[in-house]
Structure 1
Amino acid sequence: MAMVELSRFSLLASALIVVGTTQAVQGATLMVPFELARHIAKNNGKKTCTVSPPAPVISLSLSSIYEDDDESHSTIDPQQKERYDKAISQTRQFAAFVTKYASNYTETDGNRLDAASCALKALDSWARADALSDLKTRQSYLSTTRILAGAALAYVQVRPAAALLQFDTGAIEKWLDSLADRTIPVYTESGDRNSNKQNHRYWGGFAVTAVGVAIGRKDFLDFGFESYKLGVCQVTADGALPLELMRKKKARDYHLHAAGPLVMMASLLQANGYDALSQCDNGLERLAHFALGSINDPSKMEMLAGEPQVNLPRDKNGLIRPDRIAWLDAYLHYYPEDRKVYGKLFEGALFSSNLGGRVSVLYNLSERD
């Protein structure tokens, strides 16, 4: 055990040293927990993006996808889901676009300058239009936190290319700042409701934290740390999140969904001097073990949630669909001893637009070209 802890400390220390040489955000005070493109000067020389990004979405009016009388929010209403998917479709397309091209830039360690140009072009287009500035419902705010988190981490990845492209990032940073500022009171000024304490809060905290790292606002990280502690300090001895167990037949799904922003927040916070990983007796590690273990053996989850679990989406190879565990390579970066067990859950690079793109490419350098 002592060797494991020493290894983890060394890994964290080396991560901080590496990051210090890769990116300077405002005032050079905030750090990125992964290596950015390492060879930005050795690029393909293509400065023009030839692909048009999705048009900006200004207004969103989203409602829950679950049946109105279902207190566990676990039974989907097909008509409400269809309306939700249609309303958010273009916003999701933007997130997929910007994270795809940011990932293409990172994966080639800076060679695909045109990919960075596409990501910056999309971000700038939405920023100058003040996209997502008219969110008409609470659900709209809750849902767009994932878009904001992904966009912020995409921007972090391509920002080093902005100087080479002579690209003015002022509008992007102003837009991200405004969206994060408007996110905080959604949770702090709406009373004592479950969505202020469960996965919605973690996604909000992650989005604000990611923006904080992207534009150099430490107060955003402070909000993120409070959101993070709110989550990991609820984790039981079993590794469960009580509020996610309340989702009954979808408890497994929601444990995996909640683990994502908590893992990514932990990474961003730890790199900037917050003691995240050890919070509440290593709550994050317990949660990860419980959630990941339930993928192929949901018996403990079913016992605690009181219902059989719905099937998880699987690929043709029988493995869980990668986006459900896209945070896993970030987690394994800090807990490498767990790779021999949980590395069997996926093949290839893990991607989620909600988490900034190809998470594996960020945290696992062997995945880069």
Structure 2
Amino acid sequence: MLVFDVFVVQSKGAGISGASVTCGEVAAMPQYLNLQPRFDRSDPTHATDDPREVDRQRPLREAIDVPARKIISIADDYRAAPREEKSHLAACLARAIVHSARNHALEGADSPTDQFYRSWIILQVAIAYLKAQPEIDEIEESVEIREWFQRNATALMEFQARGVEVAGRNNHYFWNGIAVLAVGLVIEDEALVDYAREVRDAGLSDISSDGLLALEMQRGHLALHYHIFAAEALAGLMLLHPDPVLPWQSSAIRRLTNAIIESIADLSGGPIASSAEVEQSPPKRLVPLHVLVPFLDVGSPEWEIIQDIIKDVPPHSRYLGGNLQFVLCRPQ
């Protein structure tokens, strides 16, 4: 049953009144995550889940995912709502986020898996905030939210400074970077935006001449899946970052996109399967291909192929904060 309560919005400015607002209840995300890898440890490629670990960790992950999905949903409702409903939804969104901020959500992240999850969730919630930022910034509670974002972004950078020496620049490095970028945009912190710029450029530099990412090639039959996952983060970094896209950056993401397209078309003989020396499993998610489209020439063979692949795939990625139109339409 959906529980309703009343959230009194304390306005900092004239943008939102001080009236009570009735919102659907959104649970606070936990401070401590207690997550561990779910893969079968006998598989060196980490490409096989252990069903027992999946079951054991389901409630732990749902305690994080369910509130995050509700936050994303409110933000997308805000974007689609008529003007007269936006203030109400912005207040509900602020209420949902501040509930977790006051619980110090995610700040007890400890294990590497905790940190990976933290980056995904902070990214989702920060993009949700960006969708309604002009109005949320006028709410008194936005100060607490911004401070919470800052603490989590700082912790993510500190973790990555240690982790990259061990794991290298894999997809987690890119997701860490885009999470920090989204926070930097929310709190207008140029140091965080600069950090993300370094991550973006390092990631794009890692794309080989044939469009592959060496560390994602280590994932066996899921190498294609993880190339798509990494590409989603890299493309998101390029689309969200205020820098204009440079020719070398566009060339790199296009090489990666072409390798992915060719590998989807030929799971056993495409470039990723050939390099990994194992047939690839069908991708778990095709949604990320939506954010690769802007880097292809309209009408080109690659553009036509990718359009055909995604024609029945809704442009909605929880990793990039829900409806992708916001990310795809950010001004460059």
TM-score, normalization: structure 1?
A: 0.76
RMSD of aligned alpha carbons: 2.5
Instruction: Tell me the alpha carbon deviations over residues 136-169 of structure 1, each in whole angstroms, 9 at most, x when there is no partner.
Output: 31210112211011111110111222367x4531
Alignment-derived partner of residue 126 in structure 1: 100
Spell out the pairing of 1:1-369 with structure 2 (5 A cutoff).
48-108=21-81, 110=83, 112-113=85-86, 114-162=88-136, 166-190=139-163, 192-194=165-167, 196-269=168-241, 271=242, 273=243, 276-279=245-248, 282-298=251-267, 299-300=269-270, 301-313=272-284, 324-335=285-296, 337=298, 339-346=303-310, 347=312, 349-360=314-325, 362-363=327-328
Greater relative contact order structure (CA < 8 Å, 6+ sep): 1
Any conservation in 2 of the 1:202–1:261 contact (CA below 8 Å)? yes
One-letter code of the match for 1:360? Answer: Q
Following the alignment from structure 2 to structure 1, what is the Cα–Cα distance between the partners of residues 276 and 61? 30
Structure 1 residue 341 displacement after superposition: 2.9
Identify if the C-alpha distance between structure 1 residues 109 and 72 changes in structure 2 by more than 3 Å, giving closer, same or farther.
farther
Identify if the C-alpha distance between structure 1 residues 363 and 145 changes in structure 2 by more than 3 Å, giving closer, same or farther.
same
Following the alignment from structure 2 to structure 1, what is the Cα–Cα distance between the partners of residues 175 and 328? 20
Q: Count how many residue pairs are aligned between Structure 1 and Structure 2.
A: 307
Unaligned runs of 5+ in 2: 1-14
Identify if the C-alpha distance between structure 1 residues 309 and 356 changes in structure 2 by more than 3 Å, giving closer, same or farther.
same
Unaligned runs of 5+ in 1: 1-40, 314-323
Identify if the C-alpha distance between structure 1 residues 49 and 359 changes in structure 2 by more than 3 Å, giving closer, same or farther.
farther
One-letter code of the match for 1:193? Answer: V
One-letter code of the match for 1:162? Answer: I
One-letter code of the match for 2:123? Answer: A
Instruction: Tell me the alpha carbon deviations over residues 243-270 of structure 1, each in whole angstroms, 9 at most, x when there is no partner.
Output: 101101000110111111111111122x
Identify if the C-alpha distance between structure 1 residues 328 and 111 changes in structure 2 by more than 3 Å, giving closer, same or farther.
farther
What SS class does the counterpart of residue 192 from structure 1 fall into? helix
Following the alignment from structure 1 to structure 2, what is the Cα–Cα distance between the partners of residues 355 and 108? 20
What SS class does the counterpart of residue 265 from structure 2 fall into? coil
Identify if the C-alpha distance between structure 1 residues 281 and 330 changes in structure 2 by more than 3 Å, giving closer, same or farther.
closer
Any conservation in 1 of the 2:250–2:295 contact (CA below 8 Å)? no
Instruction: Tell me the alpha carbon deviations over residues 149-193 of structure 1, each in whole angstroms, 9 at most, x when there is no partner.
Output: 1111110111222367x4531011000011000000111124622
Structure 1 residue 63 displacement after superposition: 0.9
Following the alignment from structure 1 to structure 2, what is the Cα–Cα distance between the partners of residues 231 and 355? 18
Alignment-derived partner of residue 12 in structure 2: none
Instruction: Tell me the alpha carbon deviations over residues 114-152 of structure 1, each in whole angstroms, 9 at most, x when there is no partner.
Output: 333332211111112211111131210112211011111
Structure 1 residue 328 displacement after superposition: 3.6
Alignment-derived partner of residue 3 in structure 2: none
Instruction: Tell me the alpha carbon deviations over residues 12-56 of structure 1, each in whole angstroms, 9 at most, x when there is no partner.
Output: xxxxxxxxxxxxxxxxxxxxxxxxxxxxx9x9xx97343111233
Following the alignment from structure 1 to structure 2, what is the Cα–Cα distance between the partners of residues 95 and 336? 35
Q: What is the percentage of aligned positions where both structures have the same residue?
A: 22
